[in-house]
Amino acid sequence: MDLDGSDVTIRLIGIDTPEVDGPFTESECFGKAASHYAHELLEGREVQLEFDVERVDPFDRTLAYVWLGGDLVNERIVAEGFATVSTFPPNVRYVDRFLAAERLARERSLGLWGRCP
């Protein structure tokens, strides 16, 4: 993502998607589907970033809530079952929204909730 003229990777605050094959990880159930969903949703689109208390994590990744129009993308990814809630205080601004979205996705067996043990 281009942020103020620099190419940065954004870590979506409050959510955790399943891993895909990488140099330090093996694919987890629904990882490729979650990655594909996020790319389809965001690639080439202009988004707004909202920061919380901490702007960078210990791994030097930029932390943000991502807005696409009036849609909070972090929440949408959870609501569709492509991620679980994973919060790290003090960055907890939308935790209640994320937990509600996760609860509904679980109840409806959406995404990873219907496909992964």
Active site residue 19: yes
pLDDT in tens, 13-69: 999 999 887 777 788 999 999 999 999 999 999 999 999 999 999 989 999 999 999
Q: Where are the domains of the chain?
A: 2-111
Active site residue 103: no
CATH class label, 2-111? mainly beta
Active-site residue (options: 11, 45, 103, 108): 11
Q: Indicate yes or no: pTM above 0.75.
A: yes
> Is the pLDDT assigned to residue 3 strictly greater than 70?
no
Active site residue 40: no
| Pairing of the two strands 84-85 and 15-16 | antiparallel
Please give the share of the chain, as a percent, with pLDDT higher than 70. Answer: 97
C-alpha 88/C-alpha 71 separation (Å) is: 22
> Is the pLDDT assigned to residue 81 strictly greater than 70?
yes
